[in-house]
Structure 1
């Protein structure tokens, strides 16, 4: 059997290596300074590395994400790509699509959410390669297997879709009522995580569940991507929280529980359903 190559996968992996290593090398919490932002608020700026112009609150979170990308996502992407080259079957192609989905989420987050820096073009290249790589495989893949939509899976999809709105919407409503900006807007004009989670991931959970119940193959493809993304986010929360603590940031317990532990729990359930899904597909 001829081995299948995917140049976009290689580009995506290399881009994630560059962006994550550059972020990790920026881990220095001793260069912070204050700055008055466009809203007239005093904001603490990180002041070092590629995150030099990002807020002191956001930079440690980005560094935590970079640790997860380099130590978890990149090895997993490489392993999945090698499986795809060796087997080239539907299951491995679906797994590769799910890795592209994770890379795309990360690429979109840094391309739109990180202040302009020296490796901006790498951000753009990662965003582009992961997006078109994902589309290329979705176009080719043909899923004939039907996944059993259990009550547990349905509940998980609904809870995940609702949780992503519940986690972020109160901040937005509060800012609208007060007539000001988001509490941690810093030097930014918007919060890209809110856009991705509430505008794409949350609705996709309900669309995916609908397609699964209609026995459509696209539902399976969406499900694998959503589950993989939930797993990675659940893992990513841990290094993000560690980096925030090391930076000296004070994290309120209610925030840690609602916006931290909840994602870890969802990631655990996603891991369970992910393993169950691939067992069913392989059978």
Structure 2
């Protein structure tokens, strides 16, 4: 077993800890309200590891925890099979991308709690494991010539559209920037890490991959299944988030339901189909 495999299984263990505690741990507390630094009244969840997070954030976190449990198990499965076929290596990297995103949101977006050292350790492990896996995928000769010669314009356009979907956050950012008022969804937080990750990393990565694929660059073909797998994870994660938030009595406006939930679910389904078609060419 390679050293990277040990690191991957360590990530699975850490993820199971954070996700299971997030879902099931309870302190028996109840919701309470506080005033944020902007003078707004915010209702906090008051129970479990997310007791000092807003009800909306806690519901989203629990939904993410549930879906991430599945991703962690699948990631372990792909890791075990990564030596048998290159396609499992691509899917392994894609699943790890989802875990890296998850860990970064925990480390930067959740109010401080007793799991913070685990969040940092998980984030660090995912970050360096991703570097090692992507570096390996780029160096390996794991793409058949038939794929390198094939034009995937539809997939390239889809990647660019998917990356551009994060521009939806500008709906919240621009009014706050123009008026000087706090973000409408800021609640008790000072910033939203998701905005930074999506606009600073996700957007340029997907646009760059799409352009590389259009130009038939090797890097484009190698990143495509990784990024498609990540979209699938995001698509199904928003379902879990919505289920938990609804169960907590949170009313999701139709506009946000369509723009932030249904749209990502549709992208996730399309990404899954395109990924399956792409992998038909990976026979090693």
TM (norm. structure 1) is 0.92
Q: Distance in 1 between matches of 2:244 and 2:257?
A: 14
Query: Of 99, 103, 115, which residue of structure 1 is paired with 2:99?
Result: 103
Check conservation: 1:102, 1:225, Cα contact below 8 A. Answer: no
Q: Is the 8 A contact 1:98 1:225 kept in 2?
A: yes
Aligned partner of 2:75 in structure 1 is 77
CA contact (8 A) 1:16 1:74 kept: yes
Report the alpha carbon displacement of residue 37 of structure 1 after superposing the two structures with TM: 1.1
SS of 1:282's partner is: coil
TM-score (norm: length of structure 2): 0.91
Aligned length: 277
Q: Deviations over 1:136-173 (max 9, x none)?
A: 122223245245343321221121122111x2111111
Q: Which runs of 5+ in 1 are unaligned?
A: none
Distance in 1, matches of 2:114 and 2:135, equals 34
Q: 2:164 is matched with which residue: 162, 165, 187?
A: 162
- Report if aligned partners of 2:95, 2:233 keep a CA contact under 8 Å in 1: no
In structure 2, the partner of 1:213 is 214
Distance 1:240 1:29, change over 3 A: farther
What's the C-alpha RMSD, in Å, of the aligned pairs? 1.9
Q: Equivalent of 1:150, from 149, 152, 159? A: 152
In structure 2, C-alpha distance between the alignment counterparts of 1:239 and 1:26, rounded to whole Å: 18
Using the alignment, how far apart are the partners of 2:165 and 2:89 within structure 1? 29
Q: Is the 8 A contact 1:164 1:202 kept in 2?
A: yes
Alignment of 1:138 with 2:140, yes or no, is no
Q: Which whole-Å CA distance do the structure 1 matches of 2:277 and 2:238 have between them? A: 24
Would the aligned equivalents of 1:143 and 1:220 in 2 still touch at CA under 8 Å? no
Specify the alignment match of 1:11 in structure 2. 10
Unpaired segments ≥5 residues, structure 2: none
Dislocated runs of 4+, deviation >6 Å: 27-30
